[in-house]
Amino acid sequence: MDCQGAEEIIVTAPRLPEAAGEDVYARVEVNAQAIEDAVRLDEALRVVPGVALFRRNDSAAANPTIQGLSLRAIAPSGAGRALVTLDGQPMNDPFGGWVIWGALPAETIEGADIVRGAGAGPYGAGALTGAVRLRERRGQGAVLTAEGDALGYGRLAGIGEATSGAFSWMLGASAQRSDGWVAVREGRGAADVALASDSFAGVTRLEWRGDDLVFAARLGAYSEWRSAGLVGAESRSEGSSLSFTLADPAGPFAWRVQAWTLQSDLYNSSVATAPDRSTTTPASVQYETPALGWGGNAAIRWSDDAGGLEIGADLRAADGETRELFSFMGGAFTRSRIAGGRTLTAGVYAESWRTFGDWLVSGGARVDVNRAEDGERIERLLATGAPTLEFLPDDTETIAPTARFGVRREFGDYFVRGAAYAGFRPPTLNELHRPFRVGNDVTEANALLEPERLLGLDGAIGGEHRAWSWSVGLFAARLEDAIVNVTLGAGPGTFPPGVFVPAGGAYRQRQNAGVIEATGIEAEAQGALGATLSWRAAMSYTDARFDGGSLDGLRPAQAAEWSAAAGLVWRATEATTLSADLRYESDRFEDDLNSRVLEAATVLDLRAEQALTDTVSIYAALDNALDATVETAETAGGIESLGPPQALRLGVRLRTGR
């Protein structure tokens, strides 16, 4: 919404435009409509097969520590093996590497570019299986959304932007609550409760635009609470982010410099469950997990119609620790634990691209230095303060050279492309230092973890025609020193360093479990039938297996072989839009030993939207329309947790200034 008397200005984001050389890589765009119609941003990204959180639940129900995003189902991880950026700022949590998706209201995001394959070049550390570039909304007026259902769900969200001369100011926020659903059906006991949740997020951004320069200051904050589905088990997460960006993004000589900081904290309580699920007993309380991340990035680009060169550098630092109580005996916790440290990753890169007639060639190299420092794990008896464990791991340093290279050839309406790449991901503070518990399963940290490294290549053919486009591709990847939760024993029993695992539980430790070999196929197509009907379809197949070691021949946990998605949008009248979205995923294994199977699932979502005026519309969305059973977890005792049942959402949306 423009203020009275304001001059019309060209809205330019303080980021470098996408380089032409990106066309040689496996890139998929998620459009604004898919994002706007989603309840949460991670749901919108799932229209691209192979893009998923660690588990099948979306971020409204999933514990914050498993909200990491991975691509191509090579080996999903709670920390995530994809780098997520918002206008250049990394959004991965400084302590755990996951992304708090609730901190990014869908209404504030105008689009997302997904780059599959190790992201060397401008992405670097963390972009092991790819990168997700989010773009924040600009110059599109105001949007207000209110929706709810009969099951205790409600959401209110909005964004507004005002301009005056060279300045613009954006304000966005979302608030969501849900009574949730009880995930356990068969074998349910009195200890099983609903996966309820509450969340709030807000963001404000001030921008100034001169003749060539753009300056942006952005501040965001979030707070979330959710039940873990068992009496006494819950989590709370909160945090904030701040960034300053100055750029000259247009013209043959462009540049950008950015500084940012991320702060987060996590509370997480875990319980042990009785065999009949009638009661729970406190197991641990991670009452604080304070973390601070900070860094910056800078890039300079020279480009013309024939090609370009970009040189840049980036720095990411993190400092955090877990503070917790554990060993519940005699009605009280008897021990305390403080564990954490610092990490720092710095890298420089050069990326170049060139066209030669119908050929596009692109490539680049970078070098990163990663350090893990000042690690500690100290456990004490609460009664006396006497230490029971003192572990101070040695500082480590890793130098990681990586690169990527690709070519693309146009043949009229058709193209052929191929790329090769290398990437690395250092372990997070969470993986190095924080043990955790889910029900009766206990997973230990490992301060001796080495960074993961990936080598891969892919190729595709496709076409872009007047009414539709398509592509079919193959990929192969080798993930070395994969960080995996490895099962080392089963309860009841006591395991190092003095961890008791009850009956029905498993004892695991994060380890560099060796090599994962993965090959796959991915295809997508989209188009329109006339002016009123549009469609899209995509599929992904990944055959990922451990090669050697104790897990030889097994599939990585939570890695589905097949996934597919399809969508249909019918604009029945100028005011009425009907849509359907279908998602399929084959079975996956809950655990590293492939002993717990989560069955295949197909979910259909339906939506109808009716415009009442130019600015007001109402809609009805039937989520999981066929009430499909979606298995999201399974205990060692065979107790299954299920995803959300069928639910009808009703909403109203107000738009101005578009």
pTM: 0.94
Q: Which residue's entry shows tokens 């709030």?
A: 200
Query: 233 φ, ψ to 5°?
Result: -110, 120
Per-residue pLDDT for 5 more than 60?
no
> Which CATH number is 392's domain given?
2.40.170.20
pLDDT of residue 307: 95
pLDDT tens digit string along 276-286? Answer: 999 999 999 99
DSSP class of residue 57 equals S
Listed in order, strand segments (DSSP E) in 357-451 are: 359-381, 387-391, 396-411, 414-425, 436-438, 441-444
First to last CA, the chain: 9
Is 358 inside a domain boundary?
A: yes
Structurally, how many domains does the chain consist of? 1
User: Do the beta carbons of residue 80 and residue 96 sit within 8 Å?
Assistant: no
pLDDT tens digit string along 547-584? Answer: 988 899 999 999 999 999 999 999 999 999 999 999 99
Is 620 inside a domain boundary?
A: yes
pLDDT band for position 658 (50/70/90)? low
Per-residue pLDDT for 439 more than 80?
no
Is 14 inside a domain boundary?
A: no
Domain residues for the domain of 51 are 20-656
Per the prediction, the chain carries an average pLDDT of: 92
pLDDT tens digit string along 452-499? Answer: 999 999 999 999 988 999 999 999 999 999 999 999 988 888 888 878
pLDDT tens digit string along 144-174? Answer: 999 999 889 999 999 999 999 899 999 999 9
Geometric angle at alpha carbon 445, from 439 and 451, rounded to 5°? 130
Going 489 to 328 to 380 to 293, the CA torsion angle's sign is: positive
pLDDT of residue 286: 95
pLDDT tens digit string along 96-145? Answer: 999 999 999 999 999 999 999 987 788 888 899 999 999 999 987 899 99
The C-alpha atoms of residue 261 and residue 241 are separated, in whole angstroms, by 6
Q: CA nearest 477: which of 128, 126, 131?
A: 128
Say if strands 452-464 and 52-53 run parallel, antiparallel, or are unpaired: unpaired
Is 11 inside a domain boundary?
A: no
Per-residue pLDDT for 11 more than 70?
no
Is 6 inside a domain boundary?
A: no
Report how far apart, in Å, the C-alpha atoms of 268 and of each of 240, 281, 340, 355, 435 are: 19, 15, 16, 52, 11
Is 626 inside a domain boundary?
A: yes
Question: Percent of the chain having pLDDT more than 90?
Answer: 79
Is 59 inside a domain boundary?
A: yes
Is 539 inside a domain boundary?
A: yes
Look up residue 257 and give its two tokens. 């410099």
Residues 6+ apart with CB under 8 A from 507: 441, 442, 444, 487, 488, 489, 490, 491, 493, 495, 499, 501
> What is the full DSSP assignment across 227-265?
E-SBTT-EEEEEEEEEEEEEEE-SSSEEEEEEEEEEEEE
> What is the full DSSP assignment across 152-209?
S-EEEEEEEEEEETTEEEEEEEEEEEE---B-B-TT--TTB-B--EEEEEEEEEEEEE
Say what the alpha-carbon torsion angle 16, 17, 19, 20 is, to the nearest 10 degrees.
-160
Per-residue pLDDT for 9 more than 80?
no
Geometric angle at alpha carbon 517, from 510 and 343, rounded to 5°? 40
